[in-house]
Amino acid sequence: MASKRKKPEKAMTRQTTRKAKVAIAKDSLLPSGYLEVLEDIKGKVLAARIRASLSVNRELIILYWEIGRLILQRQEAEGWGAKWSTVSQLTSTGNFLTRRASHRAT
């Protein structure tokens, strides 16, 4: 027996959302231009979050490249990896690389 599914409601477009906000603003005691300023602030926060994410990703890529370069230099100069796997050994003794913060703000 197949169950009947409800049709999904139409997604609100940005214009529909703005019209709804303008209607709310007209009926409330919000100052003129308040919702526009709020939208501007939200946009700035979102843009800053994106820039922060890109910056963190860039720094991690640089870190991983430097770690790889260091390992390669040691392999070439001192013969690392001849008797044991360099990456496996570093992984087992360097577990701090994958450790997550154990505390959380409450």
Which pLDDT tens digit goes with each residue over 44-60?
999 999 999 999 999 99
Q: Which is higher by pLDDT, 67 or 23?
A: 67
The torsion defined by the Cα of 80, 81, 85 and 88, in degrees rounded to 10, comes to: 20
Q: What is the pLDDT of residue 26?
A: 59
Which pLDDT tens digit goes with each residue over 60-104?
999 999 998 988 888 888 777 666 666 677 777 766 566 655 544
Q: What is the pTM of this model?
A: 0.49
Cβ(35)–Cβ(22) under 8 Å?
Answer: yes
